[in-house]
Amino acid sequence: MTDFTQMGLKAIRDGVAAGDFTAREVAEAHNDAVAAASELNAFIVATPDHALAAADKVDAARAAGEELGPMAGVPIGMKDLFATKGVQTAAASHILEGFKPPYESTVSQKLWDAGAGMLGKLNMDQFAMGSSNETSYFGNVASPWKKLGSNATLTPGGSSGGSSAAVAARLCPAATGTDTGGSIRQPAAITGITGIKPTYGRCSRWGIVAFASSLDQAGPMARSVEDCAIMLGAMAGFDPKDSTSIDAPVPDWAGALDSNLEGKTVGIPREYHVDGMDPEIEASWEQGKQWLRDAGAKVVDISLPHTKYALPAYYIIAPAEASSNLARYDGVRYGLRDLPEGAGLQDMYAATRSDGFGDEVKRRILIGTYVLSAGFYDAYYTQAQKVRTLVQKDFMDVFEQVDVILTPTTPTAAFALGEKTDDPLSMYLNDVFSVPASLAGLPAMSVPATLTQDGLPLGLHLVGKPMDEQGVLNAGLAIEQRAGFTAQPEKWW
């Protein structure tokens, strides 16, 4: 009997289309896998009926000889940041617990229209703030991976940690993620899967709970470059409801995949060589360069001089936007209301928000409130936005000579849950390699490269020119073909 959970997105889609099996069989197998994986805590809400209904629709359409969509028959996980009509959308927070949107996000709607079904809402860092999935109100997500010879529970990364865990654990062939400073790429890297954040504006933000508006982008997380290309094609596209959505046609990325990099130049930014860099990370990066050379690319050293300042700029801009974006959670129109005896309106706000937001969310709201407040705005926020201009300019300058940039995705492999929770700042450093591309709005992806000696996955990070997802995907494919990464976590859950 076929194990459908071992199949990738494309294999499932093509098998359903060919009549090798039904979409219902696939959905049932994945529903079972989700139900059996409660120890991972990857899902906040399971929606088996949604997956089955979508599958039945695809099977019926196939039987009727209708044309099937690019995601037909593929059951996926949906990050809890995407509004799903009638299904709790809480951004993994207490303050939105029980909130059932009367609307569907643009991206999730596009996926349903393409024939996908929903297995459930995926756990995540609360309001997408975190890099280890330890800030969810609904509990930590456990990575399916374990270090060799250790039973410690590891982080699946974050904020899209439910997504990375579920895809790595074969609970779903693909999942949606969102990426503000690395929240697709970092969890993908440390769970041995593939994830791409497209150019800012490729995917509509309409209906995605906002963290930092100028940075948030949705993207796919899956187990191959091709699966990511297919799913991104279904997610992307102009949306008149989002002012920052890019009005440009969506290329056939999957159809145009090509791992021959002859004539292409890959840049290696010297500023990403940080002191005390993990030698295994260093080695995988070296390996990555070689693979790209093998694929025909020319590899050159480049400089992105403001790299060092990207992370501090990010930790001003993102909290500033978040402090404002999260002001709407006030206990008036939806979500939690905490009304102490005799409290007035403003007391109700303070009580509701204190009770409803987790510590990391509060921390960022306070930072954001501070840097925007009277007297500090120019020194912090304006300065950060100027530095952001410089960070972007660095990229645009090097893109005169190179087509794509290669770096490690993360500074380390997965760490244990609880290891960094006492020091928020050390947690922030997880995103040191992913944040610059976020600030510049560039397409960037993580592709699995290798396993550490401890048996944990490491990813390589590719950053492309604005709108050139194809260049990123092609380079990713070249690495994927050479890395031959087939490792998967041993099932312990």
Partner 1 sequence: MSVTREEVAKIASLARISMDEAALDHMVPELNNILAFVEQLGEVDTSAVEPMTAVIPQEQRLRDDVVDADPLTGGGRRDDVLANAPVAEHGFFGVPKVIE
Partner 2 sequence: MSNYRVHGATGEWEVVIGLEVHAQVTSKAKLFSGASTAFGAEPNSQVSLVDAAMPGMLPVPNRECIRQAVRTGMAIEAQINTWSRFDRKNYFYADLPQGYQISQLYHPLVGEGQLVIEADEKAGIPEDKVIRIERIHVEQDAGKLMHDQHPTMSYVDLNRTGVALMEIVSRPDMTSPAEAGAYIRKLRSILRYVGSCDGNMEEGSMRADVNVSVRRVGDTELGTRTETKNVNSVRFVMQAIEHEVQRQIDVIEDGGTVVQETRLFDPNTGTTRSMRSKEDAHDYRYFPDPDLLPVVLHEDFLEECRASLPELPDAKRARYENELGLTPYNARELTAEVETFARFETLLAATAKGIGKPEKDVATQVANWSLSVAPGVIKALGDEGDPANATAERQAAILDMQAKGEISGGQAKEIFEIVLKEGREPAEIAETEGLKQVSDTGAIEAAIDEILANNQDKVEQYKGGKDKLFGFFVGQTMKAMQGKANPAVVNQILKDKLG
Catalytic residue at 159? yes
Q: List the interface residues with partner 2, window 333-372 (CB under 8 A).
A: 333-334, 345-346, 349, 369, 372
388: contact with partner 1 by CB under 8 A: yes
Q: Which of 373, 397, 401, 491 binds partner 1 (CB under 8 A)?
A: 373
Q: List the interface residues with partner 2, window 93-112 (CB under 8 A).
A: 96, 99, 101-103, 105
Neighbouring CB atoms inside 10 A of 66's CB total 11
Helix, strand, coil percentages, rounded to 5, for the chain: 40, 15, 45
C-alpha to C-alpha distance for 294 and 219, rounded to whole angstroms: 28
Angle at 338 between CA 334 and CA 341, to 5 degrees: 140
Minimum distance from residue 224 beta carbon to partner 1 (Å)? 28
CA 378 to chain centre: 31
Q: List the interface residues with partner 1, window 187-246 (CB under 8 A).
A: 199-201, 206, 214, 240-241, 243-244, 246
| Residue placing its CB nearer to partner 1 in the complex, 38 or 382 | 382
2: contact with partner 1 by CB under 8 A: no
83: contact with partner 2 by CB under 8 A: yes
Radius of gyration of the chain (CA): 21
486: contact with partner 1 by CB under 8 A: no
Minimum distance from residue 174 beta carbon to partner 1 (Å)? 25
Q: What are phi and psi of 132, to 5 degrees?
A: -145, 0
87: contact with partner 1 by CB under 8 A: no
| Residue placing its CB nearer to partner 2 in the complex, 222 or 318 | 318
320: contact with partner 2 by CB under 8 A: yes
265: contact with partner 2 by CB under 8 A: no
Distances (CA, A) of 491 to 20, 170, 171: 27, 10, 11
Q: Which of 93, 131, 143, 159 is an active site residue? A: 159
For tokens 């939105």, what's the residue?
A: 96
Minimum distance from residue 102 beta carbon to partner 2 (Å)? 7
Angle at 319 between CA 318 and CA 323, to 5 degrees: 125
Catalytic residue at 393? no
Minimum distance from residue 315 beta carbon to partner 2 (Å)? 16
Instruction: Give the binding-site size for partner 2 (rule: CB under 8 A).
Output: 44
| Residue placing its CB nearer to partner 2 in the complex, 101 or 192 | 101
351: contact with partner 1 by CB under 8 A: yes
Q: Which of 131, 183, 245, 323 is an active site residue? A: 183
Torsion of CA 102, 105, 106, 108, to 10 degrees: -120
Asked if residues 273 and 279 have their Cβ atoms less than 8 Å apart, the reply is no
315: contact with partner 1 by CB under 8 A: yes
| Residue placing its CB nearer to partner 2 in the complex, 13 or 353 | 353
C-alpha to C-alpha distance for 304 and 224, rounded to whole angstroms: 29
Minimum distance from residue 414 beta carbon to partner 1 (Å)? 24
Catalytic residue at 79? yes
Q: Which of 15, 69, 130, 331 binds partner 1 (CB under 8 A)?
A: 331
* Ramachandran assignment for 197, one of left (phi > 0), alpha (psi -120 to 50 degrees), beta (any other): beta
103: contact with partner 1 by CB under 8 A: yes
C-alpha to C-alpha distance for 237 and 154, rounded to whole angstroms: 35
Q: Choosing among partner 1, partner 2, none, which partner's interface includes residue 210 (Cβ < 5 to 8 Å by kind)?
A: partner 2
Pair of tokens at residue 98: 């029980």
Minimum distance from residue 116 beta carbon to partner 1 (Å)? 20
285: contact with partner 2 by CB under 8 A: no
Q: Choosing among partner 2, partner 1, none, which partner's interface includes residue 321 (Cβ < 5 to 8 Å by kind)?
A: partner 2
Pair of tokens at residue 319: 């909290």
C-alpha to C-alpha distance for 421 and 424, rounded to whole angstroms: 6
Nearest by Cα to 72 from 26, 140, 121, 3: 26
Asked if residues 404 and 284 have their Cβ atoms less than 8 Å apart, the reply is no
Q: Show which residues are catalytic.
A: 79, 159, 183
